[in-house]
Structure 1
Amino acid sequence: MTAYEPLLRADDLEVVYRSRGRKSFTALAGVSFDIRPGETLGLVGESGSGKTTIGRAILGLVPITSGTISFDGRDITRIPATERRGLARDIQVVFQDPYTSLNPSMTVADILVEPLLVQGWTRRDASARIRDLLDRVHLPADADRRLPYEFSGGQRQRIAIARAIALSPRLIICDEPVSALDLTTQARVLDLLIEIQESTGVAYLFVSHDLGVIRHISHRVTVLYRGEIVEEGEVDQVTSRPEHPYTQRLFMSAPVADVAQQRERREERRLLAASREN
């Protein structure tokens, strides 16, 4: 694979939830995108837009109604569970909530060693790998003996990131990984993810509702609205000069530190809403 060939590609992806006695709900409709090796594709939209469903579809956690997902040229749309476990070496995930994504009864060492042992590592090699992982996410060496409750939210998310990179994956799905953190901690975790990407070449699918966060970490951006792509392109274009009205609303709703600028954005949102009504 060259650097210009997709690592992951989704073609005309559709996910429809059906339940007995109720109307069906289309979570994704005709969604197509690709992720190149070593890049970050930002996936942005409000709650219910379908962005998290995309990540879950790639991980095999939701049934795909139609369309295909391929990884490194291989169709992984409906592979058996045994093959899906093998794929975990290459595709990992960092979840939104650092408080529930870690087993509270396991030490950090146990949390980090588990995926390594499953993949056949010896305990000796796994222990050496844990020391390297803690160093990579800037946690002290003695963190391995502690339990998750002893850490702050940002530190817990660093542990989750260490677990995700333990097997040296080629793609990590980041599902709102900083939304539960304060702004200062968000910036530090985003910078850590960028640092890891630059040193390892891992690709990210970065899911967020915050266009400002997407701008900080992404190379390209895909905007979802009600299960469909409404805008996509290079990060500077989409986050600075959005063309679709929905993306414009996301841009103007992103928080900014400057009070006067925030006031201007509120007025822009009001004018945009008025123009749609007229």
Structure 2
Amino acid sequence: MSLLTVSDLTVTYPGRGWRKPAFTALHEVSLDVRAGETVGLVGESGSGKSTLGRAILGLAPVSGGSISYDGRDIAHVSQRVRRELARDIQVVFQDPLSSLSPSLTVGESLAEPLRVRRVSRSEADDRIREALDLVHLPADAVRRLPREFSGGQRQRIAIARALVLEPRLIVCDEPVSALDLTTQARVLDLFLDVQERTGVAYLFISHDLSVVRVMSHRVAVMRHGRIVEAGDAHAVTTSPTNPYTRQLLLAAPVADPAAQARRRADYEASRAMAPYSQETTR
């Protein structure tokens, strides 16, 4: 049984301004995430992948379809129920500073969600120590401010903050795209290590096929608010069948300059010979 099931989800935003038409960001999207697995969600900027993550978190309006968590429909629940769900469903954003108050120490930031749930001081301290250990940060980090850490370390703190509530699912919205390549690799290894040690499931949102290939068991590819291809991660990221996915793969950089030049030429040729229309991506 799936931990999270999204069925025929539609998200429509009302038009802004006089006579502005409504904008549909997601068109009948369906996917599922099983306990302990990672589903990668990949697509270009504006494809709707972050909107799907926001809808799951209750931050985007659901116009149609359903979102089921552990067999329970959560698409239209109250704010009180949403706060309760935060214990099981957490998020890691692209910019860790957006979820960390610059005026609070790391310990205070990690303790905040526990205090809201009336966790005792001693239990909160234990959970914070465990979370910092999971992300390989020293115990004295609790006394320091976010600005005293590097970008990669701040992302580790954001992950620790998501972990203190011991969630079953984490929505990861471009969590490594703002990091340099070396730091990216370390944070991705951290995500994998945390999953192995805790059994947490990830919905891993990224524009980079090479990242989701490393992270994911299964991959879904989005374009214009629709899933155009989905399946086993290795198959989708190495031998895609959809023209749009193939162009995403060809557009991804590789370390070898000669291979990159050939890939770029193949990418331009594929765009000229087989442009991905609406018909080819449905």
- TM-score tier, shorter chain, comes to over 0.9
Structure 1 residue 276: Cα displacement: 2.5
CA distance in 2, matches of 1:23, 1:14: 16
2:110 corresponds in structure 1 to: 112
The within-5 A match list for 1:193-208 is 193-208=191-206
Amino acid at match of 2:131: L
Match for 1:37: what amino acid?
A
Distance across 1 between alignment mates of 2:272 and 2:76: 46
- Aligned residue type for 1:220: R
Give the TM-score of the pair, scaled to structure 1. Answer: 0.96
Instruction: Identify which of 264, 267, 270 aligns with 1:266.
Output: 264
Q: Matched residue of 1:105: which SS?
A: coil
Deviation, 1:140, is 1.1
1:138 paired residue among 136, 144, 161: 136
Equivalent position of 2:171 in the other structure: 173
Q: CA deviation at 1:101?
A: 2.3
1:101 aligns with 2:99: yes
- Structure 1 gaps of 5+ residues are none
Q: Describe the SS at the equivalent of 1:99.
A: helix
2:8 aligns with one of 6, 12, 33: 12
Shift of 1:130: 1.3
User: SS state of the match for residue 274, structure 2?
Assistant: helix
Residues 50-96 of structure 1: CA distance to partner in whole angstroms, max 9, x if unpaired? 00000100111111000000000001010011111000110000001
Partner of 2:40: 42
- Indicate conservation of the 8 Å contact 2:250/2:266, yes or no: yes
In structure 1, the residue corresponding to 2:97 is in which secondary structure?
Answer: coil
CA distance in 1 between partners of 2:250 and 2:258 (Å): 13
- Contact 2:247/2:271 (CA < 8 Å) preserved in 1? no
Counterpart Cα distance in 1 of 2:115 and 2:253? 43
Code of the aligned partner of 1:119: R
Q: Which among 252, 255, 261 is matched to residue 257 of structure 1? A: 255
C-alpha distance in structure 2 between counterparts of 1:274 and 1:54, whole Å: 31
Task: Report the AA paired with residue 174 of structure 2.
Answer: E
Partner residue in 1 for 2:279: none
Q: Equivalent residue of 1:169, what SS?
A: coil
**Whole-Å Cα distance in 1 between the matches of residues 123 and 14 of structure 2?**
46
Secondary structure at the counterpart of residue 7 of structure 1: strand
The count of aligned residue pairs is: 273
Report sequence identity in percent. Answer: 62
* Structure 1 equivalent of residue 222 of structure 2: 224
SS in 1 for 2:260: helix
Are residue 245 (structure 1) and residue 248 (structure 2) matched? no
Give me the CA root mean square deviation.
0.9
Whole-angstrom distance in 2 between the partners of 1:100 and 1:261 = 37
TM-score (norm 2): 0.95
Q: Distance in 1 between matches of 2:230 and 2:271?
A: 22
Q: Distance in 1 between matches of 2:263 and 2:99?
A: 35
Cα distance in 1 between the residues matched to 2:57 and 2:96: 19
What CA distance in whole angstroms lies between the structure 2 residues aligned with 1:199 and 1:190?
14
**Counterpart secondary structure, 2:153:** helix
2:143 corresponds to 1:159: no
| Cα offsets for 1:25-54 (capped at 9, x unmatched) | 110001001000000000000011000000
Gaps of 5+ in 2: 276-282
